[in-house]
Each structure stands twice: as C-alpha cells, then as structure tokens.
Structure 1
Amino acid sequence: MSTRLSALAASVVLLTTFTAPAASAGPGPAPAGGPTSQSSPSGQSGPNSQSGPSVNLATNPGFELPAPNLADWGAVPGWSCTGGPAEAAVTTAAAHSGTSALTVTPANADSTGECAQTVAVQPDTTYTASAWVRGAFVYLGATGTGRDVAPAWTETTGGGWQQLTTRFTTGPSAHSVRLYVHGWYQQGPFSVDDVRVDGPAPAPAVAAGSVPTSDKVVFFTVDDGWQRTPEAEKFIADHRLPITAFPLPMPAGTDPGFFQRVTTVPGSSIQDHSVSHTDLTTLPQAQQQVEICDARDAMTRLFGTAPVVFRPPYFAWNADTLQAAADCGIRTVLTADADFSWGASSIWHPGTLQPGDVVLMHWTDTLATDLQRALAAADAAGLKPAGLVDYLR
C-alpha cells in the first residue's frame, strides 16, 4: 500500500472514531448499496446562536458568478484553490443545480485539490455548512472556528451527487472561518456545487467620509496603483508619511515590492479597492461580494494582512455594498471629503482641511506633487498626516 493510501486509511479510521452521523446535520442514511458518509456533530450552541436571520454567507456558492474584469486568469470567483487553474475549473457538465459546478482534478499524487474561502461570522454563534459533492473521499469542513470539529466526508457518492453537512459554533474571538472542500490523495477528480454556510450575517459595514476625532490629524489615501513613480516613493520616505494604499489586485500583484516600500511608515496599511474598479451599485450583492472578497484575498496573499477598510470605486456604494463588505470581513466603507489627485485641491466642505478629514489621491505620475500640495494644505490647517487604521479601531 502506498504512503498516501496508508494515510487515507488512517484518516478514515480516525474520522470514523471521532465523528458520528447526525440526522439533524448529515445527509441522511445512504441507500442500500449506495455511498456512505460521515457527518460531524454540531458544536455547542453559543449565546448568539439565534442572532439575526439565517442567510447563506458563502461567496459564489453555486459557481454561477462570472469572474470580474482584471481577475487572475482561470481563477474561480470567491474561491482560492491550491492547484490553481491547473486543477480547479468551473464546468457546465452535469451541475447539481443551475448551469455550473466546480470540478477539481488533482494534478499529482501529492495534491488533495483543496479549494477554500474565508467567511465572516459572528462570535459565539452556531453555523451550518453544507455542499453537494460528487466523487470519492470528498471532505467539507471549517477551520479557525475556535471550537473546531471534524469535517464531514464521504467515502464515495457512487457517481451521483451527495450532500455533506457539518455544524460548528464559533469561539468568543472568532470573526472569520476558513471553509474548505478537498478530495484525497490518488482518489481522482471530484465536483462541488451548492455550497452553503447558513447562519446570521455580520452587521453591515459602516460608511464614512471622514474619521471622527478631535486630534489634529488628517489621513492620506492613495488609490488604484497603475502608475508607480520613484518621485512619489521618495517623497513618502523623506517626509515619513503614513499612507493608506488602496491598490487594485492587478497592479499590486505586478509590483508588490513598491507597495510594501511606500507603506513602511508606521500607521500605513494596504486596504481593499475591489478587483475590477467597477461601479458596484450596478451589481447585485452576490457579485459585489466577489469583487470585495477576491480583492481582500489578493491583498492578504500579497502583503500578509487582511484589509478591514474598503474604498468603493467612484465612491459608489449602496446598502448591498455595506453588507457585502461586512460579509468579507470589512468594517468600514470609506470615501473621502477632499481630493488632491491630478493637481486638484478640492475640499468638499467649507474652509480648510479639518481634523479627521480623509484626502483622496491616486498612484499617478502627478502623485509626488499632489502629496506635496496636500501636505502643505494640512500644515496650513495645523494638521499632521496619521495612520488611518489606527483611528478606526
């Protein structure tokens, strides 16, 4: 028996010992001669287990949503798959429902073909995760819950679709969990469809154009990232400016070192600006969630810290944007109340800059002079640039 198959056998023994089928959470008994499964027991109910209506919090749960413009080629919207497009693809053959499903073909004997997403949750709250799967030794589970339970799994679905279900209760400090599906070593392709994470949603994000504070501070924010100049980088370094950067994933991925360098001043951070710079108010909430969550995942992967602030393109947002942002773990949807981009000096309230003002700029060939002009306006008002996230906590 190979090492991988030995590990598989050991895993089956462990899961069979650790878990038991639960009628309230599992797919029910298998028909005679049909597939078998194991479902994990539910976690203990927390004090907020019934907090708010139950909704499906998964991003792109049916694999029906299109990839945003400027997204990585072959990426599955809302999902991060370890093998990338070489292993995971949205297919239109024999979906469980709708027109599409996810099909994963592990590329080698060392791959389980895992696909995962981060789901924002409430602490001390019970959630039910489920998915319809097809294949051999397919697993569904969640990590980072604070009270982890074993995954739901099936030995085989017998060629058809079978629902896996598991329940978990989040810990007192859990605000997100990692939902995953995967196969097993040397067990061949598997398919996934109609994923659900049912439970109460996080409260909507807060919309803001400035930061309430009596401190004599102002916040410099810089969007997009298409034009990165050494002059702007030098000005930021020479003046020790804390910068809140909102790059799009494509330019950030093209030159991540630049964004790391221009955000080294304490208080600086890199936040979320969507994938494609689309007016989100033209999209339904599910697609807005893909735009925000996929950009969050890209920034986290590139820079190691998950964004907590979202800058809506064109400052266009609606109630769906606030909930989609919250479902991606975003606390604040931020616009601005002054614009110093491309030679402008626009302040959208009477008088000079005021404490807590958010200044909009862009990564363009004029940014060095824009920063100089914004800094002079702040100095004239007796204000100093400060770190935005420090004031939003």
Structure 2
Amino acid sequence: MRAPAHPRPTRRRGPNGLSVGLAVAALTAAAASTVGLAASAAEPLPNVNLILNGAFDSYPWIWTCDSNVRSSSIPHDHYVSGRPTAESNARCSQRVRVLPNSSYLLYATVRGPFAFVGVSGPAGESASTWSSESSWNTLTTRVTTGPDTTELTVYFHGWYEQASYDVRWVSFTGPGYEPHPCGEPTSPSPTATDGPASPTPSATCWRTYIP
C-alpha cells in the first residue's frame, strides 16, 4: 500500500506579496544602508587652513586693512608692515567660515614691538596674544566656536603711537572646507607706496570672502 503523499510545503508571503524570507532580507539591507549613511554623515571634516593669502603674496588680496598698513617691496620676502598712529593701531582683518562647536588654532609669524594677533566672533568668541620681540617669532592662540557660530574674524594690529610691526604669515586651522577666493586682481601687488588692493567679488565663486 502506497504511503500517502505529503503535501508540498508552501512559502509564506508577507502582506506585500514578498516571501517572508525575502522581506526580512530587504529590511536588513535597508537598515544597514541607513546605518551606513548615518555613519558617513557623522564623519568629521578634515582640518584645513581657512585663511586666504596668509603669506601676503597673492590675489585677491582678501585682507581688509587700515590705510597705514603696507606690503613689503622686497622680492621673495613677503610680509606686511603696520605703522600705528595716535588714531589707528594699523589693523588688518579677514572673515572666515567656521563650524559651530569646533576648535580652531590661530598661528602667526610676527616681529616688532606690540604685534597683536587675535580672533573674535558673534557669540562672544575671543582669543588674542601679542609679542614685543624685535626678531621674527611665532604667536599662537586657540578659540572654540559657539553652537550657532559659522563665521569668525581673524585680525592683527600694532598699538597706538608705538613703533611699526611686521607680519609674515597667518594661518587659522580647524575643521571646515578648503577656502576658495572670489574675484580677480584689479591692480598690481601692494608696494611700500600702494595700499592693499581690494578683491572684486564674483557671483560664480564660493564666497569665503565676505566684503
């Protein structure tokens, strides 16, 4: 007597018509993809130098300077000199894009009495340091941005009615995007008799520089 045939097993299907096994696999893959995207989004940006023309040797000039700041006319030795007066501390500044809740390091090579460098921000961010050495030396200071801060001002200057100061190099490093200047040169490089040139902003470039 032949044994009764076993009924053929049927594959269970989910409410959308997919088999349960395929549905579970699809959900697992989607979850893994979501986790991967979240991990990518959380990756920190690399540290970059956010200052443009920190060596004072290129265009656009970018820096906003008082009229008593001049660029060196010595070939292959680029720096700026500030000559403070009773009314002006011979200041230059540059606004940079930053990220909230992030730490940044300001570095500068200076010489001369009372050479100040610093950074300030809209949420009360403030850090500065100074030197009175007659030879080239390095100044550094660090600042941390607030939860809503996306822009800081980096500056340097001398002191009222004091001797001239020089600045050869400025960098401001921390997490962010590599900056790209706006505009093209409109005049020759500043010399001992010419003030710093102003950039001509372009609507097609990423506006790291904010006039």
Q: TM-score, normalised by structure 1?
A: 0.36
The count of residues paired between Structure 1 and Structure 2 equals 158
Structure 2 unaligned segments of length 5 or more: list them.
Answer: 1-42, 187-196
How far does residue 274 in structure 1 lie from its aligned partner after superposition? 2.9
Is 1:195 aligned to 2:170, yes or no?
Answer: yes
Task: Answer whether contact 1:202 1:327 (CA < 8 A) is retained.
Answer: no
How far does residue 147 in structure 1 lie from its aligned partner after superposition? 4.7
Aligned amino acid, residue 274 of structure 1: G
Aligned amino acid, residue 46 of structure 2: P
Pick aligned residue for 1:327 from 188, 191, 208: 208
- Deviations, residues 65-110 of structure 1 (Å, cap 9, x unaligned): 145xxxxxxxxx111112x2xx11110449xxx521111112x212
Pick aligned residue for 1:294 from 185, 199, 206: 199
Greater CA radius of gyration, 1 or 2?
2
Structure 1 unaligned segments of length 5 or more: list them.
Answer: 1-49, 68-76, 206-272, 278-290, 297-309, 313-320, 330-393
Pick aligned residue for 1:102 from 80, 83, 87: 80
How many percent identity over aligned positions?
Answer: 29
Looking at both structures, which has the greater relative contact order when contacts are Cα pairs under 8 Å and sequence separation is at least 6?
Answer: 2
Task: Answer whether contact 2:69 2:90 (CA < 8 A) is retained.
Answer: yes
Aligned amino acid, residue 65 of structure 1: S
Structure-1 separation of matches of 2:153 and 2:127: 14
- The 1:111–1:326 alpha-carbon spacing in structure 2 relative to 1, beyond 3 Å, is closer
How far does residue 111 in structure 1 lie from its aligned partner after superposition? 1.3
Structure-1 separation of matches of 2:82 and 2:179: 34
In the other structure, the counterpart of 1:372 is none
1:294-313 mapped onto 2 (5 Å cutoff): 294-295=199-200, 311-312=203-204
Structure-1 separation of matches of 2:45 and 2:55: 24
- Deviations, residues 312-334 of structure 1 (Å, cap 9, x unaligned): 3xxxxxxxx5xxx25336xxxxx
Structure-1 separation of matches of 2:146 and 2:119: 13
Aligned amino acid, residue 79 of structure 1: W
Structure-1 separation of matches of 2:73 and 2:122: 33
In the other structure, the counterpart of 1:274 is 183
Structure-2 separation of matches of 1:145 and 1:134: 29
Secondary structure in structure 2 of the residue aligned to 1:274: coil
Secondary structure in structure 2 of the residue aligned to 1:178: strand
Is 1:181 aligned to 2:156, yes or no?
Answer: yes
Structure-1 separation of matches of 2:93 and 2:65: 6
Structure-1 separation of matches of 2:79 and 2:178: 30
How far does residue 51 in structure 1 lie from its aligned partner after superposition? 2.8
More strand by share: 2
Task: Answer whether contact 2:127 2:142 (CA < 8 A) is retained.
Answer: no
In the other structure, the counterpart of 2:89 is 112
Structure-2 separation of matches of 1:163 and 1:276: 30
Is 1:63 aligned to 2:56, yes or no?
Answer: yes
- Deviations, residues 101-137 of structure 1 (Å, cap 9, x unaligned): 111112x212110110111111111100111111111
